[in-house]
C-alpha cells in the first residue's frame, strides 16, 4: 500500500540537507526526474517495480488505485517521499509551474513491467 515516508532532514544557517540512506525498502536501480510538466503523468502501474517519489521543488498531487481502493496524496516538500508498491496504479497531476519530481525505482526500465489497464473496484 502506498505510504508517506519522512526523509531525515537537517537544517542550520547554511541551509537544509535531506538524506536518503537506509530508509527505502529497496535498492535503487534507476533514477529519473520530470519537470516543465504540462499535463498529467503516470497513468500506469508496474508488475515488479517499487517507486519513491519526491518533489524537489514545487508540488503535485498523486492519485493511487490499488486493486480498486483509491487514495490521493499531495506532495509539497522535498523532505517527504511517497512510496509505491508494485500493482499500484498512479497518476501525477496538478503540478505547480516549478515542480521537479524525482523518482527512485527498484528496477531497471523494462517495457514488459508496465500495466496500462487501471484496476476496477472490487
pLDDT band at 66 (very low <50, low <70, confident <90, very high): very high
Q: What is the CA angle 110-24-16, rounded to 5?
A: 115
Higher pLDDT, 70 or 68: 70
Overall residue count recorded for the chain in this entry: 122
Say yes or no to pLDDT of 118 above 90.
no
pLDDT band at 67 (very low <50, low <70, confident <90, very high): confident
Tell whether domain 3-8+24-103 is in CATH 3.40.50.1820: no
Task: Give whole-number Cα distances, 89 to 6, 28, 47, 83, 96, in Å.
Answer: 22, 20, 10, 12, 22
* Partners of 33 in beta bridges: 102
Q: Write down the pLDDT at residue 68.
A: 83
Residue of 44, 46, 87, 93 marked active site: 44
What mean pLDDT comes out for the span 21-35? 97
What mean pLDDT comes out for the span 59-73? 95
Say yes or no to pLDDT of 12 above 80.
yes
**What cell numbers appear for 34 in the block?**
520530470
Q: Note the pTM of the prediction, 2 decimals.
A: 0.93
pLDDT band at 122 (very low <50, low <70, confident <90, very high): low
Distance separating the N- and C-terminal Cα atoms of the chain? 16
Annotated catalytic, 74? no
What mean pLDDT comes out for the span 12-28? 96
Rg (CA), the chain: 14
CB 42 within 8 Å of CB 84: no
* Partners of 45 in beta bridges: 115
Q: Write down the pLDDT at residue 116.
A: 94
Which of 70, 74, 84, 82 has the alpha carbon at shortest distance from 4? Answer: 82
Amino acid at each position: 500500500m502506498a505510504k508517506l515516508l519522512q526523509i531525515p532532514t537537517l537544517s542550520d544557517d547554511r541551509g537544509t540537507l535531506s538524506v536518503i540512506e537506509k530508509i527505502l525498502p529497496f535498492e535503487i536501480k534507476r533514477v529519473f526526474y520530470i519537470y516543465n510538466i504540462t499535463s498529467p503523468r503516470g497513468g500506469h502501474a508496474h508488475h515488479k517495480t517499487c517507486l519513491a517519489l519526491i518533489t524537489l521543488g514545487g508540488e503535485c498531487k498523486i492519485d493511487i488505485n490499488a486493486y480498486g481502493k483509491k487514495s490521493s496524496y499531495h506532495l509539497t516538500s522535498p523532505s517527504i517521499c511517497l512510496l509505491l508498491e508494485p500493482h499500484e496504479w498512479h497518476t501525477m497531476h496538478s503540478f505547480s509551474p516549478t515542480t521537479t519530481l524525482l523518482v527512485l525505482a527498484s528496477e531497471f526500465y523494462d517495457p514488459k513491467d508496465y500495466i496500462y489497464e487501471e484496476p476496477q473496484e472490487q
